[in-house]
């Protein structure tokens, strides 16, 4: 029993460290994004404590960024909630994709994994899960990735808050472009199949035409259009099947 427990602990540790290691290259992309979030949130009227608390208890970079911008524009709470919900709707797709690999994970631990799931952690974890189903502790790989991303996000949020309160014009440095670059780098390699490609293309085109809409509503429109397009294409089935 002792040897078996030692083996299990060793496997957990290996998976955890591998997840953390594979996530390190993605950490730099969160740096300017976290700084921009912290600075914009403070400039928009959120207190330093509220800004940091949002990172601690929400931990959803893109949604936090959008919410901070909307708060600064004086938008109502209901619209902010609706917008951030749409921005985070992609997590439902992540869950559908990653769920089958976590069937043996205790339910209480699934909640923890769900909270800490980010674009970066999903990207490295799904690749790990697809490689092999051999390890009964493979979800520790995802935990390792999440631990690194969570710590990294808190660090850069604090730096952003400090920068926002002490530096003039930090919100105009264009740091938010890091989110776009990082997200593209994560998403493009994962786009497999016609439906996913159509979803991405439609979202991109619609976003270009709706970028000028008030209160960043273009995000909702582009996301909805992409999802609908992807579902329609998926429902049509393979081209070969339709030809027959």
Rounded to an integer, the average pLDDT of 114-142 is: 86
Q: What is the pTM of this model?
A: 0.74
pLDDT digits (tens, 9 = 90+) for 176-230: 566 666 666 666 666 677 777 888 788 889 888 888 777 667 777 887 888 788 8
pLDDT number for residue 7: 45
pLDDT number for residue 182: 61
Between 168 and 163, whose confidence is greater? 163
Q: Find the angle CA(68)-CA(74)-CA(76) to the nearest 5 degrees.
A: 90
Give the start-to-end residue ranges of the domains of the chain. 2-189, 191-244
């Amino acid at each position: 029993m002792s040897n078996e427990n030692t083996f299990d602990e060793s496997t957990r540790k290996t998976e955890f460290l591998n997840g953390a290691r594979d996530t390190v290259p993605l950490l730099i992309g969160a740096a300017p994004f976290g700084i921009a979030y912290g600075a914009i949130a403070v400039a928009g009227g959120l207190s330093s404590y509220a800004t940091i608390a949002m990172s601690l208890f929400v931990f959803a970079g893109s949604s936090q960024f959008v919410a901070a911008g909307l708060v600064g524009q004086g938008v109502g709470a209901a619209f902010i909630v609706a917008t951030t919900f749409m921005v985070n709707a992609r997590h439902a797709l992540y869950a559908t994709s990653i769920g089958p690999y976590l069937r043996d994970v205790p339910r209480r631990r699934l909640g923890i994994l769900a909270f800490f799931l980010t674009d970066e952690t999903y990207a490295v974890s799904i690749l790990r899960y697809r490689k092999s189903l051999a390890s009964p502790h493979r979800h520790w790989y995802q935990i390792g990735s999440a631990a690194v991303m969570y710590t990294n996000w808190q660090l850069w949020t604090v730096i952003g808050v400090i920068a926002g309160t002490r530096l003039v014009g930090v919100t105009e440095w264009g740091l938010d472009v890091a989110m776009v670059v990082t997200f593209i780098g994560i998403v493009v390699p994962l786009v497999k199949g016609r439906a996913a490609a159509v979803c991405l293309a439609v979202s991109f085109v619609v976003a270009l035409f709706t970028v000028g809409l008030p209160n960043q509503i273009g995000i909702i429109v582009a996301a909805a259009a992409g999802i609908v397009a992807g579902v329609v294409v998926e429902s049509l089935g393979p081209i070969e099947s339709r030809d027959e």
